[in-house]
Amino acid sequence: MRKIFEQVISFFKRHRQIINFVICLCVSFFLWLFITYGRDYQHSTAYTLKFTNNEHNVEYFTQDSIITVGIKTNGFEYLFRSSKHDKKDLIIDVDKINLNLSNGKANLPSSALKSQIMHSLGYRGADITLSPSTVRLKWNKIYSKRVKIVNKCVFKCQKPYDMYSDAELMIKDAVIEGTESLLEKIDSVNTKNVTYKNINKSGIFIVPLDLDLPNGATCRMTNVPVKINAEKYTENIAMLPVKAVRYEDGRNIKVLPKQVKVRYRVAVKDFAKINEKEFNAFVVCSDEAMSKSNKLKVNLSNIPDYVKIVNIYPQKVEYILFK
């Protein structure tokens, strides 16, 4: 390292003209910088006005949302401030303006905004001009309303898994904001109609909300957690005798076939709880039903909630009346 340093010193001793050139270049640059930015500059920039009020639930609208700010200041300050401030929005705090919120509208002189604009831009003693000279401002009272969330998502499991229970919204309702007349028309917010496939375990899905609300209504929530319960399932077949239920005359009825095959699905964890002898298959032999068809629909009863019927074969049976 020392050897390299000695070589550099030796190089500059042999080439003193390079040192003189660098010194002259630096002096020239600083002289140019002082002459160029030492005088006052006039510059105009367009900004978007945005009004806010933390104390009142109010939404503001401006017909003159663009304001042009002319700044006359020392070149060095302008260079420093412009490099730090690249935002195009100027936030105006209505609480700092003498404004009567009960009127619903006002014509504000731009001079009333001058101090906040200077503070936002970071200028203190600069001379600024504002155009237009008057800002026309309107506002509406914002109301809030709590509405229910409706799940429109579909969850599909990969076999042998299946949904053990309905999907559960972990947040049941959402708060929407808007004018009073708008909120009267809204009673719910839906999730987006999204399909989630190949699910093989229980979990929580973050589901987006469908925020296609009427213009002027907003919802700060953008998604909602949905809890699903997925379990591994198995299938089985039960052969059930068909019972005839008769409410009118006392004639006997015979159904053909006497048994139906019921295919059902059940979670593996619940399989041991199944007692097929408790399942019932029956047909209702009313005069009205028999007058319409020579076959009767097979119905099931005493099926536990955790059992999912896949199909019944046959779904309808023939019948014979006899004394």
pLDDT tens per residue across all 323 residues of the chain: 566 656 656 655 556 666 666 666 665 655 555 555 555 666 777 888 888 876 666 767 676 678 888 777 655 555 555 554 556 778 888 878 877 766 677 888 888 888 888 777 776 656 778 888 888 887 777 788 899 999 999 999 999 999 999 999 999 999 998 888 888 889 999 999 999 999 999 999 999 999 888 887 888 899 999 999 999 999 999 999 999 887 666 567 888 999 999 999 999 999 999 999 999 999 988 878 787 888 999 999 999 999 999 999 999 999 888 76
Residue 234's DSSP bridge partners are 266
Confidence at residue 202, expressed as pLDDT on a 0 to 100 scale: 94
Amino acid at 178: G
pTM for this predicted structure: 0.57
Q: Which of 229, 235, 170, 166 is nearest to 200 (CA)?
A: 229
Is 177:218 a contact under the CB 8 Å cutoff? yes
CA angle 298, 304, 310 (to 5 degrees): 50
Is 262:238 a contact under the CB 8 Å cutoff? yes
Instruction: Please state whether beta strands 134-141 and 89-93 pair in parallel, antiparallel, or not at all (unpaired).
Output: unpaired
Confidence at residue 86, expressed as pLDDT on a 0 to 100 scale: 55
Is 106:60 a contact under the CB 8 Å cutoff? no
What is the residue-wise DSSP string for 231-270? EEEEEEEEEEEEEEE--SS--EEEEESSEEEEEEEEEGGG
Confidence at residue 156, expressed as pLDDT on a 0 to 100 scale: 95
Query: CA distances (Å), 281 to each of 131, 227, 320, in order?
Result: 84, 35, 18
